[in-house]
Amino acid sequence: NAGVTQTPKFQVLKTGQSMTLQCAQDMNHEYMSWYRQDPGMGLRLIHYSVGAGITDQGEVPNGYNVSRSTTEDFPLRLLSAAPSQTSVYFCASSSSLGAGGGYTFGSGTRLTVV
């Protein structure tokens, strides 16, 4: 009964480095999304996916890439890390009910870019 699993939980990167944040869900959910949350602020949508092979941009997609080769996995790639990307990143998934059924969130990845 894992739900949505994000790895790593914490990461420190140097400016210019690249990395992939992993997200996996075991609920056979169709919809998956990535959000970032800055201190004292709401969540901003980075990218989302409505199924394997289908992704789309959210509110703040610049500097991030995603792919969805399987239903279970939705990794987020930072191409060249910048200090402005220091944030907490949440992955979330939902069944075909979408928002009506509620999104299940992972525990987050706390990323610091120095």
| Residues binding other proteins (CB under 8 A) | 30-31, 33, 35, 41-45, 48, 50, 56, 58-59, 90, 92, 94, 97-108
- Determine contact, residues 25/95, Cβ cutoff 8 Å: no
Least distance to other proteins from the beta carbon of 76, Å?
16
CA distance 57 to 96: 19
Least distance to other proteins from the beta carbon of 25, Å?
13
Least distance to other proteins from the beta carbon of 33, Å?
7
- Alpha-carbon distance values, 65 to 52, 75, 89, 91 (Å): 15, 8, 14, 14
Closer to other proteins by Cβ: residue 31 or 64: 31
Closer to other proteins by Cβ: residue 44 or 73: 44
Q: Torsions phi, psi of 75, nearest 5?
A: -75, 150
Closer to other proteins by Cβ: residue 20 or 57: 57
**Closest by CA position to 61, among listed 46, 74, 83, 82:** 46
Least distance to other proteins from the beta carbon of 63, Å?
19
